[in-house]
Amino acid sequence: MPEVKICKSAELKDGTAQIVTVENVEIGLIRHKGQCYAYKNVCAHQGGPACEGMRVPRVIDVIDKDGSFIQQKFDENDMHIVCPWHGYEYHIATGVHVADSRLKLKKFEVNEREGDIYVAI
């Protein structure tokens, strides 16, 4: 697949996203914990702009040794992309829907080298 230079690495700060159009394809480029991810900006549900939504950590239940619920907390190691239209959530690392693995965002390979970010289209 041909690679397209998207931006300088320094332009995409950690915790931010950038929407770019390459060859008539809108792509969401996201940097999280130093890693870059690129997805087609189309939700698998109804075509909403998935990459323009919030990014939130997974919510997990904390259960005590007796099986009783204690509280909920965030799992910062499992960040989700949340589509702003209907709240569909996808794992940021894979683009797979959190509850239905049949639903996925189209993922593009990202390479960083010599201070630039490239996406394979």
CATH code at 113?
Answer: 2.102.10.10
**Residue 39 lies in domain:** 3-120
- Count of the separate structural domains present in the chain: 1
In this structure, are residues 17 and 30 in contact, taking their beta carbons and an 8 Å threshold? yes
pLDDT, tens digit (0-9, with 9 covering 90-100), for 67-98: 999 999 988 889 999 999 999 999 999 999 99
Which residues of the chain form beta strands (DSSP E)?
A: 3-8, 17-22, 25-32, 35-40, 55-63, 69-82, 89-91, 107-108, 110-113, 116-120
pTM beyond 0.75: the answer is yes
